[in-house]
A and B are shown apart, each in its own frame.
Chain A
Amino acid sequence: KAGVTQTPRYLIKTRGQQVTLSCSPISGHRSVSWYQQTPGQGLQFLFEYFSETQRNKGNFPGRFSGRQFSNSRSEMNVSTLELGDSALYLCASSPRSSRVGYEQYFGPGTRLTVT
C-alpha cells in the first residue's frame, strides 16, 4: 500500500505571495491532518479534515486554510506569505476508525522557504 505523498517536496516563495501544498493520504484513510514544524516552535497542529469537513483547527491565523476533496486528497493554502512561514509542512493521514484505529501516518513533508 502506498504511503502518504506530498507535493511539491521543496518550494521557494517570496513574501506576500501565496502557496498551495498538496497531500494524498493512504488509500482508504478519510482523515488528513496538517502540521507545521519549525526549529523554534517544534511541531504544531494546523487543522484536520475528515470526509471533506474541517473537524479540528489549531491556533494559526486565517491566512492558513485548507480543504479536502471527495477522494480524501487535501490541499493547504497559505496566503500573504511571511518570513516566519518558512517551515516543514507535514501531512498525516489516519483511518480515524474505531474498527481500524486512529494511528497517524506522516508524509515526507514539503519544505517551504519564504524569502
Chain B
Amino acid sequence: KQEVTQIPAALSVPEGENLVLNCSFTDSAIYNLQWFRQDPGKGLTSLLLIQSSQREQTSGRLNASLDKSSGRSTLYIAASQPGDSATYLCAVSYDNYGQNFVFGPGTRLSVLP
C-alpha cells in the first residue's frame, strides 16, 4: 500500500528559527512530489513541485529536497515568520502524468512572535 507519513505532526518554534519538515513514502516509484500549505478552513497553496528526476527545488526561503531511493523528502524553511504558521502537506504522485496524489497527514507549524 502506498503511504505517506510526515514527522513531526506538530511543531512550535520562535520566530527567526530555521526548521525542517520531513516526509516519507513507502513506494519509491514516484513521478512527482509536491509540498503544500493549508491555512485553517482554506484550500491548499502549492509551495514546490519536485519531479522524480530532480533532487531539490527552491523558492524564496523554502527549499525542498527529494531522495527517491530512501523514500524521503524534506522541506526547509529559513528564518521562519509568524505568517508561516499553517499545516504543511506533502503529496506524492505515482501515475505517469503526475496526478492522483497520495497525501501525508501534514505537519501543523506554529511560529511564535
Contact = CB atoms under 8 A, between A and B. Distances in A.
A96 B99 contact: yes
Interface string A34-45: 010000001111
Interface residues of B, number: 26
B43 A107 contact: yes
B100 A45 contact: yes
Looking at chain A's contact residues, is the secondary structure mostly helix, strand, loop, or mixed?
Answer: strand
Interface residues of A, number: 28
Contact of A94 (B43, B99, B105): B99
B43 A31 contact: no
Contact of B32 (A48, A50, A102): A102
A110 to B, nearest CB: 10
Interface of A: 4, 31, 33, 35, 42-45, 48, 50, 55-56, 58, 88, 90, 92, 94, 96, 101-109, 111
